[in-house]
Structure 1
């Protein structure tokens, strides 16, 4: 996702970097809190390893997507946005798990998100 953002333009890449950095801060804290060992080495190395994977993925994304056509970039960024939205609705929100995962609930969320995107494009 970051690679696609930077391949698209630097403003998109920087905005995605800020958003994903904030997300990773909380993911790293949650992951560190669930570790069975509280050794300083484990608490530091796990979030650092995740950050390194992000850097490698970003470099690969930039290398593969630089010069890609606008439809390809739109598809990659749209897919990435939907993946992030899926993670938020299905994995992070407690309410989604209290009532159980349903295909109808997931489908209505994505249809609502698509409607929002279509309205935004129509107004632009």
Structure 2
């Protein structure tokens, strides 16, 4: 191998094939990612939905207490329903993400060879 200009020439004792076979990117899978990276989107949806749901719950309570009836008449129930919907989507996304992370099992292809019923 030729030395790269501007760098000190270091002795290369390994072959390229051997060094590539030991690289971590070939042998590591996506299971090396942390749990926070994997479940970031469902956690984000749950926290956003929970906070919107809590705001709607507070506004609905203010409506029944008699404060700001014009503003809380529509905003309270709307925020409760939107927040609950986003919260449930985040909760449902966790088992879906777990299922997608499992290793795929070996499946038979749709067009596998079968023996004919009648040999002519």
- TM-score bucket (shorter structure): under 0.3
State TM-score, norm by structure 1. 0.24
- From the two aligned structures, give the one with the greater helix fraction: 1
State TM-score, norm by structure 2. 0.24
